[in-house]
Amino acid sequence: MMTLPILLATPHFVVLNKPAGLAVHPGPADGPSVEDFFPELSRRKDGPWLAHRLDADTSGCLLVALRKAPLLAAQAAFAEGRVVKTYWAVVVGGPEADAGEIRAPIVKRSTAQGWRMETDASGQPAHTSWRVLGRGDGLAWLELTPHTGRTHQIRVHAAHEGWPILGDPLYGRPGEGLHLLARSLQVPVEPPISATAPPPQAMRAALSKCGWS
């Protein structure tokens, strides 16, 4: 059984470097999930718990609380917007400007084929800020900060702007795997949590085209 890389460990929290393709919760397909690895982190009855979520296709920083009290403290920080999350994405095309804001409400749509998130004036407010870190070969390397926590927010906002994330099977063109990394996480608990995830191997070729080294 594989183990998950740990970016940071304290007596109360662990920040995992979640690989792309691994769900955080067990799903109907009965495949592996992050929660399968919890016995390796703690064998106490009062934990561990996921403090937040990442899409299965997204890699990077994932916070796990090892006790109930720290879990509640982290959840409060997320709910109050005090957690700082940054993402790296490689997008197709890219914005003309070097930085900007996206404010586009998001709503969930369900069909017989499944569900997806869409921008719509009737949806919940959603706000993402971004800046360009590099460009090359028809791609752009972006750093994005979500200020709200809507499902698939960064993926939907990027597609809404006309520069979908490379390899996004839902909102762009499938193919090379979703080029989206939960790059860093800062959580104002005691002691404060600060972690940074390295780019996964699957993103490095595209990042290099945009100037990453």
List the catalytic residues.
55
- Compute CA distances 163 → 58, 64, 93, 104, 168, whole Å: 17, 32, 6, 15, 11
